[in-house]
Structure 1
Amino acid sequence: MSEKSKLRFTKELLLALPIAAKRERYRDSKVEGLVLDILTTGKKVFRVYKRVRGTPAPISVTIGRFPEVTIEQARTHALKILGAISLGVNPNELERINRRSNITLLQVYEDYKSRKELKSETIRGYEQVMRTYVSDWHALPIITITESLIKLRHKELSASSKAQADLCMRLLRALFNFALYEYKNANDESIFTKNPTHVLSHQKLWNNVGRKQTRIYQNDIKGWYGAISRVRNTSDAFTQAVCDFVEMTFFTGLRKTELLCLPWADVDLKARVFCVAKTKNGVPLLLPIGDHLLTIFERRRKQTDGAFVFQANNEHGYVREPKKIIAKLVEESGIPFTLHDLRRTYTSTAELLKIGTYTIKRLLNHKTKRDDVTAGYTILTAEELRSPVQVIETRLLELAGIKSDQHINRDRLLSIIDTLSDADKSLLISKLSDSKFTLVALDGARGEAD
């Protein structure tokens, strides 16, 4: 950029200035610091360009384009800017602060997502809250969202769902807390001084909906478990996958996403262990595979040719939403349940069997409090968890009306037979013909399994 000597700006003079091959700058002789930049595109722009002692670079503030902005308007505006600079105020920083002060709720939410490491499941929940409960607030500057608005929206949402009302306000609380520390002025002070959701705590307006207490009770397990086999008896691969997923949830107590996105790469059927890498608390969990759980894994292995245990024909490669099949299970069994009910059923069964508290916490991958010193010294490997896992599994099978040993041995035998080549099957039949077993017995076992 070339810089010309000072000129006394007049309209005729500025209109006549030529467009050069590179940007050129002209200084006004009447107002020190007012310049006109002529860009290679032909635009002529008024700016204040001022070197200030103690700053690493000159301050440049755009005023506007000539001739839309007149010379007198530019000089008047330039004097205001130069006055602010003389008082130690950087107009550009002041403009950034003003823009931040008017930042909208939606922009805060987008900034929050970009700076936080959030799981896809968490983001889906947040998106639902933003879309369903505060869509009319998206364009509002957050500084205009007052305590009164917060209380009114919480009251309105509570009329239909107390839990969802609290959920919405928890997200807003997080966004306001984020804004308090994220958007600062030139003195590194927060632009926003308060979180309006705090009024809910001050006035004790939170609904504080208690944790659900539902689970599948012992007397219902047999009928519920039988419904899984009946619904699974179909040629539809998706239905089979969901039924196996529900059954595996019942026998492990794991969370929905922990199982659904389980890849075969994290399952070792030979060593009879599997690793849940993507957990809620971010801590990977290595678990043993019980006898019955092994039969489910083996059944899945025969029915899949992809990367995931619960394979599905979609862009993700695994089952994402099992609601429709779960609704079929509810209809077939007559027992309403949620996936988290199965987690509570597993935990309650373990507690009744007097499995240790720290063992249960490890099986469920629950974090212990930092002040729990004993928990810090309780380190349990997958092999050490094998015995309690088998005890819980056996009890659940008993409650399902299945004699676990006979059931497991039968399923294991049939699963092994299905993997044999035709030649090996012929050899097995020959061996069995010389023993007390008969093909009729095998067929009967297969019929029971089906």
Structure 2
Amino acid sequence: MINIDQICLHSAYTVLTRCLAPEEPAMPRLTLNRIRNAKLPPNKKQIFLWDEDAKGLGVRITGSAKVFIFQSRMLMPDKNGILKPSTFRIKIGGCDSVLLEDARNVARRYAAQVAEGIDPRQARQRTAENEATERQERKRQDVTIGKAWPTYMEERRPNWSTKYYSDHERIISPGGKQKKRGKGLTVAGPLASIANLPLSSVTADSIKKWLADEQPKRPTETRRAFEMLRTFLNWCEADKRYHGLAPPNACSAKIKKDNLTKKNSRDDALQREQLSVWFASVRRYENKVLSAYVQMLFLIGARREELLSLKWSDVDFRWKKVHILGKGAVPRDLPLTPYVAALLSKLPRRNEWVFSSTRGKEGRLQSPTKAFQKMMSRAEIDDITLHGLRRSFSTLSEWLETPVGIVYQIQGHEPSATAEKHYKKRPVDLLRKWHIKIEAWILEEAGVEVPGADQETGFRLVKIV
């Protein structure tokens, strides 16, 4: 129901506004010739030409330009909040860029707003803000997976290892580049086929279609790409720049279960009877840096990237320990066992890296997989991976009934029990006691002859029975 008082108040306001409108002297309507021929008098800084067709429309003429303007009066609050009549002026546009009839239409619209008690300046500002928001949203809607992916990688980089970062680069790479090693061109990553897909178009159906295309060709890589994509979409949802564009459930557990083959857990590990042929093949390998890397990887049970990033400053021959930056950038100290110390002491010191390389981009080994496969082929040992060496260290240590907590700490595993996590902090010398036993037993089973002493490392290498 309409309030009579409101009607009266609005009517009074309308009448008052019209009474306050500027009174312009009668003059002809604006025409193009009138505007074109108008000149600024020498003693004037500006003059105005007014239009009789559109109330408030005028042309402001200065020494440098002719501009369409709208001028009117309305009640506006002063600094104390009291409504007072005030004159305002709005620029419509230059006479050389705005048509006269368009300027009239704009002036009539502004006049209608004034009649309703609306400030055209505020209305125009709100319109501009809404248009800017709409443009920004349209631009946001067009963001593709490939455009947001580098931003995601760069912001998450401090929390990732070098290998994990490079895996994200490779998984979405379009391919077609010359291989750094070997001949031929690189292959496109599993996510390359949907890199141009807008985030706003990511749906469960689009992910299913992508999986159907990629899964038959490379199931393991596709599974890894799916996991990375799911983490990426969760990050997008939490970031205000991409929030609400792609539903995180597009990579739900159900889609994974229904569209990806089940991952088979690897159980590759060296057997006790394989140790002799394994060591014989690895120690004969031509590249002694690669040979030492593979042996050390096995004898300390480390992750491959932990060892590749080892620097000479991390090796302490005096106090017989090695400082390793583990998974999640968590550091840990390991014993420097006698045989490993002998291996490291013979390596060339070309640069800061322990496992240096003259061909590596960073001056160190990058991908020892092919060399390791060649070693295994010569030893005629099948299905052993570099990560399988880590599993081998853990498995073979049970022959000596080594406490599992000792093995976990050496390998950098998370403690599996409250007591291990909060109450047992083993020093390096206690780890060394067991680690030397494990190394000596492995070398004995392999039939590796150990020298009696090493002057440079300060260790006396003996065979423990």
Q: Give the secondary structure class of the aligned counterpart of 1:409.
A: coil
Counterpart residue identity of residue 160, structure 1:
K
Amino acid at match of 1:222: S
Contact residue 244 and residue 296 of structure 1 kept, 8 A: yes
1:288 is aligned, of 335, 347, 352, to: 335
Task: Return closer, same or farther for 1:408/1:141 CA change in 2, 3 Å cut-off.
Answer: same
Q: Counterparts of 2:301 and 2:399 in 1: how far apart (Å)?
A: 15
Q: How far 1:66 sits from its partner (Å)?
A: 9.6
Structure 2: unaligned runs, 5 residues or longer: 1-28, 40-47, 70-75, 78-91, 111-119, 174-188, 459-465
- Cα deviation digits, residues 313-343 of structure 1 (max 9, x gap): 1441221222342233123212233211111
Per-residue displacement from partner, 1:213-246 (whole Å, max 9, x unpaired)? Answer: 11121111111110122224xxxxxx11101111
What amino acid is the match of 1:286?
A: D
Summarize the Cα distance change of 1:69–1:357 in structure 2 as closer, same or farther, 3 Å threshold: farther
Tell me the CA shift for residue 175 of structure 1.
Answer: 1.7
Kindly report which structure 2 residues correspond to 1:147-186, keeping only aligned pairs within 5 A, or say none: 147-183=204-240
Letter in structure 2 aligned against 1:126: H
1:296-335 to 2 correspondences below 5 Å: 296-300=343-347, 303-313=348-358, 314-335=360-381
SS of 1:287 mapped into structure 2? strand
The answer to whether the aligner puts 1:229 opposite 2:272 as a matched pair is no
| Corresponding residue number in structure 1 for 2:269 | 215
- 1:35-83 Cα distance to aligned partner (Å, 9 max, x none): 99xxx9x9x9x9xxxxx99xxxxxxxxx99997886777977x989976
Q: Select 2:440's aligned residue among 353, 370, 394.
A: 394
Instruction: Write the deviation string for residues 12-53 of structure 1: whole angstroms up to 9, x where unpaired.
Output: 969x99xxxxxxxx9x99899xx99xxx9x9x9x9xxxxx99
CA distance in 2, matches of 1:208, 1:73: 67
Would the alpha carbon gap of residues 157 and 225 (structure 1) be closer, same or farther in structure 2, given more than 3 Å must change?
Answer: same
| Equivalent position of 1:122 in the other structure | 164
- How many aligned positions are there? 361
2:372 partner letter: I
| Structure 1 residue 192: Cα displacement | 3.0
Alpha-carbon distance in structure 1 between the residues aligned to 2:410 and 2:288: 26
| Equivalent pair of 1:290/1:389 in contact (CA under 8 Å) | yes
Which residue identity is paired with 1:102? D
* Structure 1 residues 198 and 385, CA gap change in structure 2 (3 angstroms): same
Pick closer, same or farther for the CA change 1:104–1:194 going to 2, 3 Å.
same
Which runs of 5 or more structure 1 residues have no equivalent in the other structure?
1-7, 18-25, 47-51, 54-62, 233-238, 418-450
Q: Name the CA distance, whole Å, in 1 between partners of 2:419 and 2:238.
A: 33
Q: Tell me how far apart the structure 2 counterparts of residues 335 and 270 of structure 1 sit (CA, whole Å).
A: 37
1:262 shift after superposition? 1.0
Structure 1 158/136 Cα, relative in aligned 2: closer, same or farther at 3 Å? closer
Q: What letter matches 1:105 in structure 2?
A: I
State whether structure 2 residue 313 is matched by structure 1 residue 265. Answer: yes
Name the aligned partner's letter for residue 355 of structure 2.
F
Report the residue type matching 1:288 in the other structure.
P
Relative to structure 2, which stretch is displaced further, 381-390 or 330-339? Answer: 330-339
3-state secondary structure, aligned to 1:197: helix
Q: For residue 217 of structure 1, what is the amino acid of its counterpart?
A: Q
**1:204 deviation in Å?**
2.8
The alpha-carbon deviation at position 167 of structure 1 amounts to 0.9
Q: Distance in 2 between matches of 1:200 and 1:31?
A: 66
Are residues 386 and 88 of structure 1, via their aligned partners in 2, closer, same or farther at CA, if it must alter by over 3 Å? same
Q: How high is the TM-score relative to the length of structure 2?
A: 0.66
**How far, CA to CA, are the matches of 1:98 and 1:119 in structure 2?**
35
Change (3 A) 1:203 1:171: closer
Q: Distance in 2 between matches of 1:65 and 1:105?
A: 43
Equivalent residues in 2 for 1:50-89 (5 A)? none
Specify the SS of the correspondent of 2:247: coil
Partner of 1:111: helix, strand, or coil?
helix
- Which one of the candidate residues 313, 324, 342 is aligned to 2:389? 342
| Match 1:204 to one of 257, 271, 282 | 257
Give me the whole-angstrom Cα distance separating, in 2, the residues matched to 1:11 and 1:215.
91
SS in 2 for 1:308: coil
Retained in 1: the 8 A contact 2:334–2:410? yes
2:14 — aligned with what?
Answer: none
Q: What amino acid is the match of 1:409? A: G
Give SS of 1:165's match.
helix
Task: Give 1:179 shift.
Answer: 1.3
Larger radius of gyration: 2
**Residue type of the partner of 1:382?**
V
Q: Would the alpha carbon gap of residues 81 and 122 (structure 1) be closer, same or farther in structure 2, given more than 3 Å must change?
A: farther
* Equivalent residue number for residue 255 of structure 1: 303
Contact 1:358 1:375 in 2 (8 A): no
RMSD of aligned C-alpha atoms? 4.2
Match of 1:384 in 2: 430
